Structure 1
Amino acid sequence: MPDFPRTLLVDDDGITNFLNQRLFQQMGITDTQVALNGQDALDLLQTVCDQSRASECPALILLDLKMPVMDGVQFLHAYLQRPPIHPAPVIIVLSTSHNPDDLARLQNLPIAGYLTKPLTREKLAGVIQTHFGYSYAS
């Protein structure tokens, strides 16, 4: 697989971040950044996604739903208020929740999908195949 574009993992859990980064590396995704909450992610996007550094903007954002400081839904609302990013990143929400209320809160927000944790090779490969056209052998 050619170099996969930059990925941003937004999650407050250190173990989850470690395991997901390890999974990314095993799949050849080496350009990964981590933000510990939605506010950190917004700050990072503001820093790296301006016109002069657009190539540093993540193509894929994996966003936890429940975090302190700013949760995933709050991030998505704030994301809508900022200047658009071109090309827009693919945003996938990750959560342990199966609560219909959580899914309802995501209606009309700029997400490309919702995956339940834990993130697996199969789930990540599906996202990458669907949104970026890369395929992985089993």
Structure 2
Amino acid sequence: MEKLSSILLIDDDKTTNFLNRLLLEDLQVAHQVLVAENGQQALHIMTQGQQQSRPALILLDVNMPVMNGFEFLEAYATLEEAYRQSIILVMLTTSLHPRDIARLQELPIQGFLSKPLTKQMVQELLQTHFQRVLPD
């Protein structure tokens, strides 16, 4: 399987970041897994990094200090469309409350997943958005 250029994990929970990074690296789905603990750090990585640090996939938490997922999306929307159009953005949440699901469905994202991230979820993301299949 051809690897993604990079994946950006945005979550304030260090344990979640560690486990998600471990899973993604173990599955060997990307050349690079970047981690930000809030939306502000993520924007810095994206705007100050090199071309190769532009993520193919962003996995974004909703509730974070400094800049939460919704605030990140507002700032992200101001980036050049040519930059954004090649990025798949998926929200990761622990809340499956109907009110939160309804709000997520209104956002300019390509999907949302309930935490924790699993191999099956990664497989579905790769198939749906990148037409790639994990090797057995």
Aligned to 2:72: 75
Q: Give distance in 2, aligned partners of 1:67 and 1:121.
A: 24
Q: CA deviation at 1:99?
A: 1.7
Q: Deviations over 1:66-112 (max 9, x none)?
A: 11111111111111122221543100100100122222333442211
TM-score, normalized by length of structure 2? Answer: 0.89
**Aligned length, in residue pairs:** 134
Q: Give distance in 1, aligned partners of 2:84 and 2:99.
A: 31
Aligned to 1:41: 42
Q: Return 5+ residue gaps in structure 2 as ranges.
A: none
**8 Å CA contact retained: 2:5, 2:52:** no
Aligned to 2:11: 11
Runs of 4+ in 1 over 4 A off after TM superposition: none
TM-score, normalized by length of structure 1? Answer: 0.88
Q: CA deviation at 1:134?
A: 1.1
Distance 1:4 1:83, change over 3 A: closer
Instruction: Let me know the Cα RMSD of the aligned residues.
Output: 1.6
Calculate percent identity across the aligned residue pairs: 43
The within-5 A match list for 1:53-92 is 53-84=50-81, 85=83, 87-92=85-90
